[in-house]
Structure 1
Amino acid sequence: MREGNQQALRVLIERYKSHLFKVIYGVVRDEQEAEDITQETFIKMMDALPSYQSQGFKTWISRIAFNKAIDAKRKKQRQKEVVGHDEQKDSQTRGSAEHEWLQQEKITSVAKSIEQLPETYQGVVKAYYIHGKSYQEIAKDHHIEEKTVEMRLYRARKWMKKNWKEDEF
């Protein structure tokens, strides 16, 4: 398959697609989403194939599937939280010019605050919290490892707790 043999790829997909679907479905609990993530897993597998070290293929690809499912679930959860919060606020103050002005001020304040972060954290914080990207997407965009993204977000949160006052937001 590393040499571009399409038949080998088809064999792998046929052999592992039901196993991966089960792994993913166990996390996301949605058939359509599990099917989509299963396909994404095979795409990710192709990208990561050069790093595969010929040990435990089923475990390796299952780990990719599980991580993709976790990322999808987290992203969906973040979107639900944001939408639910926004809908609640909107129903309370729909059409209020004052509300719109306050929202714009809050966005400006948050953007200025993010600029206060050390430069190494700014990009990942914006990508994760503002744009809702997964660790994998951020890692790919910034050409860094996922663990680096995770560590930068952890350190950024720590920095924020230490340097920002709670009442600023």
Structure 2
Amino acid sequence: MRKNIITDSTLISTYIQGKESSLEILIKRHQQRLFSFIYSKVQDKDITEDIFQETFIKVIRTLKKGNYNEEGKFLPWVMRIAHNLVIDYFRKINRMPSFKTTDDFDIFSVLSDGNLNAEKQIIKEQIYTDVRELVEELPQEQKEVLIMRMYKDMSFKEISENTGVSINTALGRMRYALINMRKLIEKHKIILVN
């Protein structure tokens, strides 16, 4: 069997059994796609390199522990690890990528003004807490999409891949989540102060 037709799952099995070179083949096979994916998010070669290395350290640890069970879905699994590390990177530097919502009602826009005095800062934090609590009241499917979109800055394509539903379903859930948030804000009489 030639190297280029060995499946990912076979390579994973042989690596787990102790054949180190199998991992090398896996990394080479997917490095271009993974590197491009990370770079498209962070736009910096050195940081991309770091996150790429970190991704494979996590992959190796998981495989060595015997915790890998996503038969035949190696690349999506590795991409998910990389995506989470990108989010961690943005959290670390406290610069989450900005998001745009197309709905005319954007409760999160009141949370993004950096030039607030101490009193307004406290009000802002209270609103943020209130909003977070309201999010918890949403139906599970809507809550999941809203958190992925607003707090994790995932695209609807990524949300669709992560939840296993179509992009249209994810968009629909987001729309209903915003409608429900509006109702909950009125019900709880939360005043969104600018």
TM-score band by shorter chain is: 0.5 to 0.7
Q: Which amino acid aligns with 2:113?
A: K
User: Which of 53, 62, 86 is equivalent to 1:72?
Assistant: 86
Aligned match of 1:52? 72
Aligned match of 2:175? 158
Q: 1:88 to 1:105 in 2, by over 3 A?
A: closer
User: Which of 111, 119, 143 is equivalent to 1:122?
Assistant: 143
Distance (whole Å) between structure 1 residues aligned to residue 142 and residue 95 of structure 2? 20
Q: CA RMSD in A?
A: 5.0
Aligned match of 2:162? 146
Conservation of the 8 A alpha-carbon contact between 1:37 and 1:69: no
* Unaligned ranges ≥5, structure 1: 54-59, 140-144
Q: Report the Cα offset of residue 121 of structure 1.
A: 3.4
Aligned match of 2:117? 94
* Unaligned ranges ≥5, structure 2: 1-11, 100-108
Conservation of the 8 A alpha-carbon contact between 1:124 and 1:153: yes
1:126-137 equivalences in 2 (<5 Å): 126=147, 129-130=150-151, 132=152
Number of aligned pairs?
148
Conservation of the 8 A alpha-carbon contact between 2:146 and 2:177: no
Q: 1:49 to 1:81 in 2, by over 3 A?
A: same
Conservation of the 8 A alpha-carbon contact between 1:37 and 1:65: no
Secondary structure at 2:13 match in 1: coil
Q: Which amino acid aligns with 1:81?
A: S
TM-score, normalisation: structure 1: 0.52
Sequence identity (%): 13
User: Which of 23, 40, 46 is equivalent to 2:36?
Assistant: 23
Are 1:2 and 2:13 an aligned pair? yes
Secondary structure at 1:81 match in 2: coil
TM-score, normalisation: structure 2: 0.47
